A and B are shown apart, each in its own frame.
Chain A
């Protein structure tokens, strides 16, 4: 059974840092890109960024709102992806989801999602 489990959420002050983990199981982690998506309370989904596979040089892309502050990485030996968040702002407060990307016929989609980790940025 495919599972993604986020951890590391919590309360942090503005300007602080937090690192989320996304532990995967039930599939070949090294063969899948991982995306991070966030959702402020009562609002819609916002893409944060992605990390591709080793075959794609572990390339990363980020949303403009987090570029330069957030870093996505992965450790294929641990089947885990990470989201390092620095210089946090109150507007970063949200539930953060990781998702597995699967590709079919040249198109990719997020077929499995974690349960989410709540990050609250407040003084």
Chain B
């Protein structure tokens, strides 16, 4: 079981907006910033969102992140077929003294 809780799957049609949630606790999300990683099939994870809501250069502004209390979310607007991937949230956990990940959400573009 992952320390951070994500829905195992999400889906949407092209052009739609989808959100992926990430739930934690006071020792992780409640204390530290959240990052989001995108993993396309057969490839390494790629940084998508850092420090809750910052986008690295090259990441489209269709992707946005937010955090409130012990939860965070990733929103993808204007869904495109190339967004079909696994998405992971991550943050530092003060109690475990380690990095923790969500279980991952498989996004399907219908």
Contact in complex: B98, A113 (CB < 8 Å): no
What residues of B have a CB within 8 angstroms of the CB of A109 in the complex? Answer: 33, 35, 47, 50-51
Which of chain B's residues has its CB closest to A67's CB?
Answer: B98
| B residues near A114, Cβ cutoff 8 Å | 44
Cβ contacts under 8 Å, B86 to chain A: 44
In Å, the complex CA distance between A49 and B104 comes to: 19
What is the total of A-B residue contacts with beta carbons within 8 Å?
62
In the complex, what's the smallest C-beta–C-beta distance from A4 to chain B, in angstroms? 9
Interface size on A, residues (CB 8 A): 26
Per-residue 0/1 for B64-104: is the Cβ within 8 Å of any A Cβ (1 yes, 0 no)?
00000000000000000000001010101000111111111
User: Chain A nearest CB: distance from B48 CB in Å?
Assistant: 10
Q: In the complex, A113→B45 CA distance in Å?
A: 7
Say how far A60's CB is from chain B's closest CB, in angstroms. 11
A104: which B residues are within 8 A, CB to CB?
A: 50-51, 54
Assembled-state Cα–Cα distance A114/B24 (Å): 27
- A45: Cβ under 8 A from any B Cβ: yes
Q: Describe B's contact surface by its main secondary structure.
A: strand
Who on chain B is nearest to A6 by CB?
B44
Q: Which of chain A's residues has its CB closest to B99's CB? A: A47
| B46 adjacent to A113 (CB under 8 Å) | yes
The answer on a CB contact under 8 Å between B101 and A111 is no
What chain B residues lie within 8 Å of A110 (beta carbons)? 35, 37, 45, 47, 90
Q: List 27 A-B contacts (CB under 8 A).
A: A44-B88, A44-B101, A44-B104, A45-B45, A47-B99, A47-B101, A49-B98, A50-B99, A61-B97, A61-B98, A64-B96, A97-B45, A104-B50, A105-B51, A107-B33, A107-B51, A108-B92, A109-B35, A109-B47, A109-B50, A110-B45, A110-B47, A111-B50, A111-B56, A113-B44, A113-B46, A114-B44
Q: Please list the residues of chain B having a beta carbon within 8 angstroms of any beta carbon in chain A.
A: 2, 32-33, 35, 37, 39, 44-47, 50-51, 54, 56, 86, 88, 90, 92, 96-104
